[in-house]
Amino acid sequence: MTDPQPQDYPLVEKYLVGYRNFERADLRAAQLSKVQLAGVYLCWADLTDVHLQGATLDYADLTGAMMWRSHLDQSSFRLANLHKAILIRASAKAANFSGAELHRADLRLANLQEANFSGANLRGAKLAYSNLRGADLSGADLSGADLTGADLSGALVNACCWQSATLNRAKLDGNFKASSKHMRDKLAFHELLN
């Protein structure tokens, strides 16, 4: 028996004929790599262990979606709404979250290496112990975000808002440039703690 393909899922069939509302859908461990689901409505859906590598979910609404251990490498979530989404231990290497709404999203222990978060709203997001090596955070709002123990080596942080962000034990390197007095003060405090 072969593994199910994306076209084998009713969601894909319905999407292709114009249906967009899949609120609270159960897509645990679904094989949906490289599917085109732009504008889909997956609020509060269970996407635990889902395979969405290379998929396009631009403008999608994933508010409150459960995405534990999801496989999102090289997928696109441009301008998507992931407010309160749970992506603990997700792998989203080189994924595109530019302009996305990730307010209060839970990305703890996620692999976000080289992901694009430019212009994204990450206010109050939980990013503790996540891998953000080489990620693009340019213009992102990280106000109140928890980056405890996160690896920010090589991350682009131009014009970020860091107000009340927590950086305890975060890994920072020479590429991490303070763009404001507030950030320079926060980094000085960080140095005292480490």
72-81, pLDDT tens digit by residue? 999 999 999 9
Q: What is the pLDDT of residue 120?
A: 99
Amino acid at site 69? R
Q: What is the pLDDT of residue 176?
A: 65
Q: Is the pLDDT of residue 180 over 50?
A: no
Which residue carries 């072969």 as its tokens?
A: 2
Reference 67, options 80, 57, 82, 79; nearest CA is: 82
CATH of the domain at 84: 2.160.20.80
- pLDDT band at 83, cuts 50/70/90? very high
Q: Is the pLDDT of residue 192 over 60?
A: no
Residue 14 and residue 118: Cα distance in Å, rounded? 32
For range 165-177, the mean pLDDT = 84
Token pair for 175: 């590429």
DSSP-derived secondary structure letter, 2: P
Q: What is the pLDDT of residue 173?
A: 82
Average the pLDDT over each of 9-13, 30-34, 65-69, 105-109 and give the range with the smallest value: 9-13
For range 169-178, the mean pLDDT = 76
- pLDDT band at 187, cuts 50/70/90? low
In the predicted model, what is the mean pLDDT of the chain?
A: 91
**Domains held by the chain: number:** 1
Q: What is the pLDDT of residue 10?
A: 87
Q: What is the pLDDT of residue 9?
A: 74
Reference 47, options 61, 155, 190; nearest CA is: 61
Q: For residue 104, what are the domain limits?
A: 1-194
Residue 54 and residue 99: Cα distance in Å, rounded? 18
For range 155-178, the mean pLDDT = 87
Q: What is the pLDDT of residue 1?
A: 43
Q: Is the pLDDT of residue 6 over 70?
A: no
Q: What is the pLDDT of residue 174?
A: 72
